[in-house]
Amino acid sequence: GENVEQHPSTLSVQEGDSAVIKCTYSDSASNYFPWYKQELGKGPQLIIDIRSNVGEKKDQRIAVTLNKTAKHFSLHITETQPEDSAVYFCAASYGNTPLVFGKGTRLSVIA
Amino acid sequence: DADVTQTPRNRITKTGKRIMLECSQTKGHDRMYWYRQDPGLGLRLIYYSFDVKDINKGEISDGYSVSRQAQAKFSLSLESAIPNQTALYFCATSTPYQETQYFGPGTRLLVL
């Protein structure tokens, strides 16, 4: 089955700097790659996703890139703000298979 | 988001006790999921259901059972709780046409 590896497990950045979180997946059939943000005391919430027919997608300060050949995808957050501090999860799936999540990255934005 | 609710929000129980965690949704979604979150291990799928008559095991179903009472309700049971089931449990929903999963606020379970 699918296996998703996520790095780093923790990340600290200065406010205004960029943050990058990377994930690799094992199943070449996977074609859907979402990113979820979990704030303290809440459930995860989708922030951006990408499908395998697209190499990059942007939404304001966040972007996701996908390299199908290398089977990895990344989340980029620019101009980080304190409210970006959270745990971020990547995931992968295809068809009706359930999402397989990475182990998460705890991002701390230092003011 | 109150569209997906979980009860109780916190629960302390003893080893060997049977407990039930409940999930209700007003989003009208057919698909519902139960996940377990442990520090450093991410979100792991316990069970999922694509409709009322469909129940599927996930990655870590041993020691758990589920019941899909209606489209809007999906319950998770621990038949005989053990300490290593101490974790944060999340329910989620989705539709067949959109992979986005909507998570509830979670239930924090402590098994003594």
Check residue B2 and give its pLDDT: 67
Q: Taking CA atoms, what residue in B is nearest to A31? A: B99
**Maximum Cα–Cα distance for chain A, whole Å?**
42
Q: What is the mean pLDDT of residues B69-78?
A: 96
pLDDT category, A1, cuts 50, 70, 90?
confident
Whether residues B99 and A93 touch (CB distance < 8 A) is answered with yes
Residues from chain A that touch B92, judged by Cβ atoms under 8 A, are 43
Given a contact cutoff of 8 angstroms between Cβ atoms, the answer to whether A52 and A72 are in contact is: no
Q: Which helix (H) or strand (E) holds A24?
A: strand A19-25
For the stretch A30-39, pLDDT in tens is 999 999 999 9
Q: Taking CA atoms, what residue in B is nearest to A40? A: B105
Residue A102's SS3 state is: coil
For the stretch B13-71, pLDDT in tens is 999 999 999 999 999 999 999 999 998 889 999 999 999 999 999 999 999 999 999 99
Whether residues A42 and B105 touch (CB distance < 8 A) is answered with yes
Percent of chain A having pLDDT more than 70? Answer: 100
Cβ-proximal residues to B41 (8 Å cutoff; 6+ apart), any chain: A103
Contact A96/B at CB under 8 A: yes
